[in-house]
Amino acid sequence: MEEVQRHSVHTLIFRSLKRTHDMFVSNQGALPEIDDKLEKIRKSIKAHDSYSLVFDRVARAESNRKCAEIANSGRKSSLSNPEKVLYITNGQDNPVNVNTNATILAADTINKNNFDIPSSTAMVAMTGIRPSVNSTSNVQLIPKKAPAIPKPTWHAPWKLARVISGHLGWVRCIAVEPQNEWFATGAGDRVIKIWDLASGKLKLSLTGHVSTVRGLAVSTKHPYLFSCGEDRQVKCWDLEYNKVIRHYHGHLSAVYSMALHPTIDVLATSGRDSTARIWDMRTKANIHTLTGHTNTVASVVAQAVNPQIITGSHDSTIRLWDLAAGKSVCTLTNHKKSVRSIVLHPTLYMFASASPDNIKQWRCPEGNFIQNISGHNAIVNCMAVNADGVLVSGGDNGTMFFWDWRTGYNFQRFQAPLQPGSMDSEAGIFAMAFDQSGSRLITAEADKTIKIYKEDEEASEDTHPVNWRPEILKRRKF
């Protein structure tokens, strides 16, 4: 039995390449010759299909230009040859007084077929040759004006009002109570803490999760707090007894986001198993498992109309789901990178999605694209918007950008201050939410603190003017 000679991987690869080359080299020159006539026909068909409207407009503009040149040459010839000028007469060979401002056309420039004028009479000239009734060459091209960019609404700048320390891990989620008296936070220390919104004091700590708490939601109709975490658990807490009363089992991996439907008693959760699940709040039944995303579903929101669920995923897509049918209605593929946050506008029928490429605005329920908001060049982890049209985005590097919702104008940006003793790598914002009044912004950060921001009451339009430069925006957008 002969021994098989062993070769290096490098040698085997090059031998494979050589065999492939030898096999296909004979077909290199076997391509058919290009027929110039057919190639010209193909290009003309393609050009007509793509640019026929432009060709028609160019032809009409050229026709109008020639008509204007003929009219101008006619005026010049009539002025230089007075014997050829036709006058309006009264039938006795006496010219009638004509308004001196009227332009007189030369007889040899009038198209008798179009005007049906006898040679013994004359008319007051027009400013140009009148085309025939059937002619369409007199259509004027009106240049399109670029759409006017509205001036952004003035918003007061925001400043840091309070820093709350108490968690022992990264603070990952925030939920504000509907009565605006307290808010809850969840963190990497596996504890849910409830804080007084006015004073910032700790009211309650809830323990039960065995891993990082990633999502919180407070019911507007029941005394319930819902939580989810990286331990695959979804819990319902009864705040009258401060204990868990329901578990929702079904997720196969970490649960990253949750949302309560505003009108129906259902709960939506999403996570690392690439699904979003809809739960009956009372019976704990898994009503729908929304499948279709191919990567982690990082954000889920629920809006009342239709009824509809919107999810954003690390597969760079946004899906709009029909809650009644449990099916995807629309998939938005405009983003090129992971969608980590989706936020609904509190009053307008719109939502925004955040990705490292840019923030995009959409109109519900079909997901019609409105505009791009560019400039936050970071991994945007979270967003929040209030009824005044202030959109805030928080980055993984601790940057916060404040935008005017309507125009996308960035009126403020800054780096969130770090807790003393923290490393620079702990500058990150994981979650943010406005309180129910929209006057205070709460952020959850990687330096284990909760920060509360409010508007600067001393600021005015004179001290902080809107740096509005629409010419730059026009160059950027059009």
pLDDT in tens, 202-239: 999 999 999 999 999 999 999 999 999 999 999 999 99
Q: How confident is the model at residue 72 (pLDDT cuts 50, 70, 90)?
A: confident
Convert the pLDDT of each residue in 291-323 to its tens digit: 999 999 999 999 888 778 999 999 999 999 999
Indicate whether 113 pLDDT > 80. no
pLDDT at 51: 77
The count of residues in the chain is 478
**Does residue 13 sit within a domain?**
no
Check if the beta carbon of residue 411 is closer than 8 Å to that of residue 400: no
Quick count: other Cβ atoms within 10 Å of Cβ 416?
22
The listed range with the strongest mean pLDDT (23-27, 75-79, 159-163) is: 159-163
Q: How confident is the model at residue 165 (pLDDT cuts 50, 70, 90)?
A: very high
Quick count: other Cβ atoms within 10 Å of Cβ 44?
10
**Does residue 92 sit within a domain?**
no
Gap between the Cα atoms of 255 and 228, Å rounded: 6
Indicate whether 477 pLDDT > 50. no
Convert the pLDDT of each residue in 386-399 to its tens digit: 999 999 999 999 99
Q: Which residue from 357, 361, 410, 362 is spatially nearest to 379, judged by alpha carbons? A: 357
**Does residue 386 sit within a domain?**
no
Question: 98-105 contacts: CB < 8 A, separation 24 or more?
Answer: 98/124, 99/124, 103/75, 103/127, 104/78, 105/74, 105/75, 105/78
Q: How confident is the model at residue 15 (pLDDT cuts 50, 70, 90)?
A: confident
Indicate whether 275 pLDDT > 80. yes
**Does residue 293 sit within a domain?**
yes
**Does residue 330 sit within a domain?**
yes
pLDDT at 9: 84
Give the pair of three-digit tokens for residue 249: 């089992």
pLDDT at 148: 62
> How large is the average pLDDT for residues 173-192?
95
> How large is the average pLDDT for residues 242-266?
94
Residue range(s) defining the domain that contains residue 302: 168-378
Lowest mean pLDDT among 28-42, 75-89, 109-123: 109-123
Which residues neighbour 365 within 8 Å (Cβ) at sequence distance 6 or greater?
Answer: 305, 306, 308, 320, 329, 349
Q: Among residues of the chain, what percentage have pLDDT more than 90?
A: 56
pLDDT at 31: 60
257 bridge partner residues = 270
Convert the pLDDT of each residue in 337-372 to its tens digit: 999 999 999 999 999 999 999 999 999 988 999 999
> How large is the average pLDDT for residues 88-92?
47
- What is the pTM for the complete model shown? 0.67
CATH code for position 307: 2.130.10.10
Give the pair of three-digit tokens for residue 429: 């914002």
Gap between the Cα atoms of 250 and 271, Å rounded: 11
Give the pair of three-digit tokens for residue 390: 């202030």
The listed range with the strongest mean pLDDT (44-53, 58-67, 192-201) is: 192-201
Indicate whether 129 pLDDT > 70. no
The listed range with the strongest mean pLDDT (1-10, 369-378, 420-429) is: 369-378
**Does residue 214 sit within a domain?**
yes
Annotate 391-420 with DSSP letters as a single string: EEEEETTSEEEEEETTT--EEEEEEPPPPT
Q: How confident is the model at residue 96 (pLDDT cuts 50, 70, 90)?
A: very low
449 bridge partner residues = 165
Gap between the Cα atoms of 273 and 260, Å rounded: 20
pLDDT at 1: 54
Check if the beta carbon of residue 375 is closer than 8 Å to that of residue 357: no
Indicate whether 6 pLDDT > 80. no
> How large is the average pLDDT for residues 67-82?
69
Indicate whether 278 pLDDT > 60. yes
**Does residue 365 sit within a domain?**
yes
Domain total in the chain:
1
CA atoms within 13 A on the CB side of 68: 9
Check if the beta carbon of residue 279 is closer than 8 Å to that of residue 287: yes
User: How is residue 107 annotated by DSSP?
Assistant: G
Gap between the Cα atoms of 89 and 97, Å rounded: 9
Q: Name the burial class of residue 101, with classes exposed (0-12), middle (13-18) and buried (19+) by CB atoms within 10 angstroms of its CB.
A: exposed
Report the chain's C-alpha Rg in angstroms.
Answer: 36
**Does residue 23 sit within a domain?**
no
pLDDT at 18: 85
Better-scored residue on pLDDT, 398 or 125: 398
Q: Which residue from 250, 236, 259 is spatially nearest to 312, judged by alpha carbons? A: 259
Indicate whether 28 pLDDT > 80. no
